[in-house]
Structure 1
């Protein structure tokens, strides 16, 4: 009776095969198997901008293909963690190239201009800053809609990375200081994944661990591995399949889920 491979072990086996012998069919199969990861990130990014989800998903697949082409299975990291910066980065490049990522409807733009005139007129009449409810009444819109219009206007304005976020006793914290270092985060994720994989490998039987390390990390053929650990090539294949499934079971609670 043949043993069905889990989705993650199937992805790893395909990645190894693609790394050794790239082909369009293998790449497309890997794209289909990891499409859920693209959908997940596209949903997250779509809530932070006005671009259609479908456009972000399409762009995200380009990042996924880049990740597949550059992933090296011998580095000992999870593909999902490796692919996330490529997928998200492709979407952010797309948004940056599109210019303003916050698109304000024409009606809101008109109300925003009219609202500024209303605020100035009310300030003269009232001798104070008008409340949102007073401006909304003059414009004939709800308070919530007027607040959304103001917020959209603020979000559309570009911020300088030198803008002060907070003032400390002996220093100033700028917006640039608060932004994460994407390269450092990627390296940190890779190191965390490497440690998790090493822990998972340590749980395996000695010959199973040796078979996986020699095939995936030392790039030996299964026939060469069989001679080294003194078993048949078929046994090597079975040990690798069983070992990968055991590692996936060990890592599953810690792995990034790819389902949206």
Structure 2
């Protein structure tokens, strides 16, 4: 009788109460299950997975159950990237891919806990996601990795020298050429992009945005080119035609006023202008 009471006094574990992966995962999330139970169940299931034939229905069930059981690892790893809240859904997705890879690659004979094996793989997938998607302009992987190494070397040298290190010092520290350092520095500018509507400098009272500093093609430049090209052509015109052009386009006189000044009819001035402009246009286009 006392033995029966003692047996009943021993509390059941979560594994004994809830045996399905979904239920155990829920209990872990609610804090009602000991993580050691998760490790024990995972250990048993990996041992089972090792003797099953890949591709069978039972193999897929055990594999999927392992993935579901260990999703807490993905959420745990994602916490270190909590500052990227806007990308958290993507982070969890790539972390799940890392978990799946870890499940497929894990061998119980490794002699380590699955958690120890899986976390680096999950975090590695998340870091690779940020490395591949955070750059505003796509640059070679070599330069992406060199940027990280150069940032670490720059911080270390700055602390050691109490000043910003030179290109030569960075090159010596990293064991690369100065040209490679400069190339990495240029590539680093592609890591982030700012809106052209953003203020160019917070210190400026006017808050001028970059869009107001961007160069643009001045339409008047074409007029300057045309005037330069027309100058020798106009110089070859008869004096009367040159005078009419100067009065019409230089003094902005009407055809009637020009005719009155030169003693010609407005119709005559109109014909002379039309003929002169047509000739100049054809010569200008021929020269282009």
What is the TM-score of this pair, normalised by structure 2?
0.36
Q: Rg bigger for which structure? A: 2
Higher relative contact order (CA 8 A, sep 6+): 1
What is the TM-score of this pair, normalised by structure 1?
0.39
